[in-house]
Structure 1
């Protein structure tokens, strides 16, 4: 009996907190905001359990490390990071000598480019939006369709892409070996081995892993690191919605705020203008039609326009679409048995958030 009483006493604060969270109004009243403050003043591992599907292997939100983790075959060094930074901003990596990595990943735009789709060699327009690379060091499946693999594998792919830099690794190596500045810099970073493409990729990857510093200078990061006053009442409400009614943590969790997986959000435009089959173009699997990699939500309010083709110019529009469960296209006559007709992910539900809740959610996203 005594042990039962002890357990009840220990559980009482948690039960009271759970009860007040269940009774939140929209917007919360003063008591509701007090309840939220108490719930989220704790360490993240003690925050209210998120609303996600039972099979989602989610991890808790948390502060970011100083830099993204480096693989054993490419350990971090300041010399490599410095060399990678120089390469990232150098237009000599392109055939024309006019396009650098930073042309599509601009520091002032959170290392995105602010365009619906990016342009490259001879001003040729691509077909997909250029995402921020700030969090690229946390992904094993770079590019929207995941064809790039991790950073070392992806780094030189834009160099050889005819719509981007329209060059080749072999020609780039020759150009850098013949330059006045690069041979010594590569020797400092990699020793006596001849300058080669693998070194270029390793340096670029090392630099990009340091870009996480941009995402660490945010209001939400201060909150995660113990500044409980860093979020306003509305932003705190948005955080709670993000974890619960808005179901955002179904795909956006962990310090990187991405599951690094592929989902069909109903934006394939199958059989119409803007059609993009996404992951299917890499795997050839029918179930991958229209699936795209989950982007990190770090810095999301600064990296528009949004989705894989940049068709959303307002973040509020994205939230409105998710609130109604995203599009679920129906086959046109004659397409009923089409094995490639895309299926919107069952992870996406109609949310039914009201206008105040959507404003709170948007306010929270602005802190990321």
Structure 2
């Protein structure tokens, strides 16, 4: 770092002596990029000391191969739905990180819900599940889409009856469990195990973090460009993204109201309030993961956004902050946008640096 500062001071003297014009912000950004070519413990301070820092994808955990294989077949079986028209894989498609190309996934008879399909990569790292955090285990999660009338529209009993009628499952359950007893908890466990097995390919950010951990800063510099490292700096500092998007998931796994409840309007969704019934939970949703963000095509709980730059600029203005009108003025349920969102100023170059970093995830 001493050498970096010295080079910067020398550049300043050169500009003064020879009258060369250099944008001061470019020099600051260059120094910020260099600051990440050292151990993570020595990186510039985060926006908030209370926030967890960014982290690479962890090593995969050991799974039961027989359960994974059974779960994979169940995950792709349309016979589990009420009319045999959709499976788990219909909405969680492998070619788009086990999310969906459509902002809203059609269930049986083409019925649409209100929320976009979450990505399943790294799903085993989540401590709370669904946009509204209604469930905290994958095994419990499986029943939700199965019985939802807008998704698979079936019952647990009917699903077990169907599975039992298939000779392939009698054999597969015997191999996986040691006997041919077919129950819903076993089926759900197998599907959950398959979901945990979904690979999470390393992205440039992960390779960068590995190089930093090994203190191979030449390799780290090769993996993330100066612009991408500038974006990492902005993500952790001025823009404050790391307050909510941290850890390996780039999510704090908490619930926040970012002002997109659409209260009293089309697209209204009360979020966690529908689970808790508490007024302070109106409009709160789980912080989404930013992993593989640039390879997905719609964002937020309702899938209404498709422009990352537009989202960055919305947050730069402090997020969406709807004001109550008319009868809403005294409405105790009128949602309040989180105070974590505060305005920040980015130049166009900084916007592009931040976007460049997001694409490395």
Tell me the TM-score normalised to structure 2 length: 0.88
Give the superposition deviation at 1:332.
0.4
Give the superposition deviation at 1:207.
1.5
Alignment partner, residue 122 of structure 1:
109
User: 2:99 and 2:108 mapped to 1: Cα distance?
Assistant: 18
Alignment partner, residue 367 of structure 1:
360
Alignment partner, residue 7 of structure 1:
none
Tell me the TM-score normalised to structure 1 length: 0.86
Give the superposition deviation at 1:193.
6.0
Deviation per CA, 1:310-337: give whole Å up to 9, x if none: 1112122211111111111111022221
User: 2:96 and 2:56 mapped to 1: Cα distance?
Assistant: 22
After alignment, is 275-284 or 179-188 more displaced? 179-188
- Paired residues of 1:135 and 1:296 also in contact (CA < 8 A): no
RMSD between superposed Cα atoms in Å: 2.4
- Paired residues of 2:33 and 2:227 also in contact (CA < 8 A): no
Deviation per CA, 1:34-88: give whole Å up to 9, x if none: x345422223333222102x5x3x3232221233x6xxxxx83111122222222
- Paired residues of 1:44 and 1:62 also in contact (CA < 8 A): no
User: 1:184 and 1:26 mapped to 2: Cα distance?
Assistant: 69
Unaligned runs of 5+ in 1: 1-11, 70-74
SS in 1 for 2:285: strand
- Match runs of 1:306-321 below 5 Å: 306-321=299-314
Give the number of the structure whose residues are more often helix, by fraction: 2
SS in 1 for 2:261: coil
User: 1:248 and 1:358 mapped to 2: Cα distance?
Assistant: 13
1:329 to 311, 322, 341: 322
- Match runs of 1:98-247 below 5 Å: 98-192=85-179, 194-211=181-198, 213-214=199-200, 216-226=201-211, 227-228=219-220, 229-247=222-240
User: 1:303 and 1:26 mapped to 2: Cα distance?
Assistant: 35
Give the superposition deviation at 1:150.
2.0
Give the superposition deviation at 1:15.
11
User: 1:81 and 1:200 mapped to 2: Cα distance?
Assistant: 11
Number of residues of Structure 1 aligned to a counterpart in Structure 2? 341
SS in 1 for 2:329: coil
Give the superposition deviation at 1:14.
11
1:260 to 244, 250, 253: 253
Give the superposition deviation at 1:237.
0.9
SS in 2 for 1:40: coil
Structure 1 runs of 4+ off > 3 angstroms?
12-17, 23-27, 35-38
SS in 1 for 2:181: coil
Please state if 1:303 is matched with 2:296: yes
